[in-house]
Amino acid sequence: MMINMGPSHPAMHGVIRIITELDGEKVVSANIEIGYLHRAFEKECEVVGWGQAFPYTDRLNYVSPLINNVAYAMGVEKLLGIHPTERCDYIRVIISEVSRITDHLTCIAACAMEMGAMTPFIYLMKAREYLYEFVEELTGARLTVSYVRVGGVKGDLPDGWLDRLEKALDKVQIEIDEVDRLLTRNRIFIDRVKDVGCISSSEAWSLGFTGPVLRSTGMPRDLRKDEPYLVYDRFDFDVPVGAVGDNYDRYLVRLEEMRQSARIIRQAIEQIPGGAVQVDLSGRPLTGAQMVDAAKMGMTADLLLRTVRVDPTLEGAGKISAERMNAPAKGVVLPPKESTYGNIEGLMNHFMLIMEGQGIQPPPGEIYIANEAANGELGFYMVSDGSGSAYRVHCRPPCFYLMQGMDRMIVGGMIADVIATFGTINMIAGELDR
């Protein structure tokens, strides 16, 4: 019997179609069809400027958009041969790990819910909400963040953000431990996931698997350890691996990875250089908005001498913070608003970066950048012809290769186990179809 699942199926989050051939309840063969969420990401990148593609990258893996932002920015920076500041690297690590936790929380929550466990879903969504509040405070959005810029980030961390994040991690940890107690030794859950959807490490490797799914087969491959980027080589963390590569291993690997991510964030908070300083030369705090107002009234004489209080809103970004965050590359990074409004060089610099046909112009060449995203290796292959927009951008989504191998994980199993396996693979249609 043929059973068609999807593209819009109540137990499958994400548009994908699985055509299964059944013998009784057993899956004999499976054909996976993708492409239902194709949005021409790569074609659009060729039309817009290098810096304008960030909103599209948000929508690749929409459960951890900050990692996509970071990967894309690192790609353009590699093409340009520039590097942002150390503080910016730390911020990128922190937001990447926060995103990794939210991604894994969503994966385990949805997977458990699809197998009938409603309570963990609610607990984990609560934990995710704690973290989304921080993402929202930092970027202004929960999902469409567009926070990272080529050569830096949009703005510095808000006051006290790191301290509050550290406290929130404790609360998240409590929820994770709660779910750990609810699920890990739960007889019903174990019966559903143990020895289901197995794949061997050699097969996973040959099929291009990366990330938690590959690690669950016992291979300790993690780009953060093997090819450290940003400042990942400065942190002490473990790479959890599974043993047999079944759904239970994938669940356990994700559970442990969240704890390791929290460990990385705590170390990064301790090590991050240059906290937000926030007084002017005479010792008075001054917000960016106040400075812009002063400039509008013509009080520009000592404008550049002042230190501005960091303000994460669009009212005004601090010059000092801009220097602390961004690479000293005038052809890439927008000048701080004080300079744009306060002097002609800043205004011209801003104008040149915004004008069509100008903007960021990397030298002709090609690069590939790989980043350990929540689902595995997220890569960008970029080709520049020296103009203001990309000649070719190709995204290597981790899900694409995972879904390619999914039929081998479900054939031979029960039809009901397709949902469990699909859940632990954590397919995100946004990055699968681009």
By CB under 8 A, name the one of 12, 34, 107, 169 that touches other proteins: 34
Near other proteins by CB under 8 A, which window of 13-21, 30-38, 163-171, 285-293? 30-38
The 3-state DSSP class for residue 56 equals helix
Measured over the CA atoms of residue 208, residue 212, residue 218 and residue 223, the dihedral's sign is positive
Q: Residue 200, interface with other proteins (CB under 8 A)?
A: no
Closest to other proteins by CB, 151 or 288: 151
In 10 A of CB 165, how many CB atoms? 22
Quote the least distance from Cβ 264 to other proteins, whole Å: 21
Classify residue 39 by its DSSP letter.
Answer: -
By CB under 8 A, name the one of 90, 130, 400, 422 that touches other proteins: 400
Quote the least distance from Cβ 368 to other proteins, whole Å: 5
Closest to other proteins by CB, 224 or 396: 396
Near other proteins by CB under 8 A, which window of 133-141, 162-170, 171-179, 375-383? 375-383
Across the chain, how many H-helices and E-strands are there?
A: 19, 8
By CB under 8 A, name the one of 55, 266, 365, 415 that touches other proteins: 365
By CB under 8 A, name the one of 234, 259, 263, 394 that touches other proteins: 394
Segment (H or E) for 365:
strand 365-373
Q: Residue 411, interface with other proteins (CB under 8 A)?
A: no
> Within 13 A of 90's CA, how many CA atoms are on the CB side?
21
* Long-range CB pairs of 89-93, under 8 A, 24+ apart, other chains included: 89/230, 89/231, 90/231, 90/268, 90/271, 90/272, 90/273, 91/153, 91/156, 91/157, 91/272, 91/325, 92/148, 92/153, 92/230, 93/230, 93/231, 93/232, 93/235, 93/264, 93/265, 93/268
By CB under 8 A, name the one of 381, 411, 414, 415 that touches other proteins: 381
Quote the least distance from Cβ 431 to other proteins, whole Å: 13
Near other proteins by CB under 8 A, which window of 43-51, 178-186, 259-267, 282-290? 43-51
Closest to other proteins by CB, 342 or 398: 398
By CB under 8 A, name the one of 379, 413, 423, 430 that touches other proteins: 379
Closest to other proteins by CB, 132 or 391: 391
By CB under 8 A, name the one of 46, 137, 159, 280 that touches other proteins: 46
- 381 pairs with which residues across the strands? 368, 394
Q: How far apart are CA 65 and CA 314, in angstroms?
A: 21
* DSSP states along 77-127: HHHHT----HHHHHHHHHHHHHHHHHHHHHHHHHHHHHTT-HHHHHHHHHH
Strands 365-373 and 26-33: unpaired
Stretch 201-260 residues interacting with other proteins (CB under 8 A): 205-208, 221, 226-227
Do 422 and 27 contact (CB within 8 A), yes or no?
no
Here's the x/- map for other proteins, 51-90, by CB under 8 A: it reads as ---------------------------xx-x---------
Near other proteins by CB under 8 A, which window of 109-117, 182-190, 314-322, 392-400? 392-400
Quote the least distance from Cβ 44 to other proteins, whole Å: 8
| Contacting residues for 412 by C-beta, under 8 A, at least 6 apart | 26, 27
Nearest Cα to 168, choosing from 126, 139, 138? 126
Stretch 263-302 residues interacting with other proteins (CB under 8 A): none
Quote the least distance from Cβ 394 to other proteins, whole Å: 4
Stretch 307-336 residues interacting with other proteins (CB under 8 A): none
The CA angle 90-91-94, to the nearest 5 degrees, is 85
Q: How far apart are CA 158 and CA 135, in angstroms?
A: 11
Closest to other proteins by CB, 233 or 323: 233
Do 421 and 409 contact (CB within 8 A), yes or no?
yes
Closest to other proteins by CB, 43 or 296: 43
* Interface contacts to other proteins, rule CB under 8 A: 34-35, 38, 40, 42-44, 46-47, 78-79, 81, 205-208, 221, 226-227, 365-368, 370, 377, 379, 381, 383, 385, 391-392, 394, 396, 400-401, 403-404, 433-434
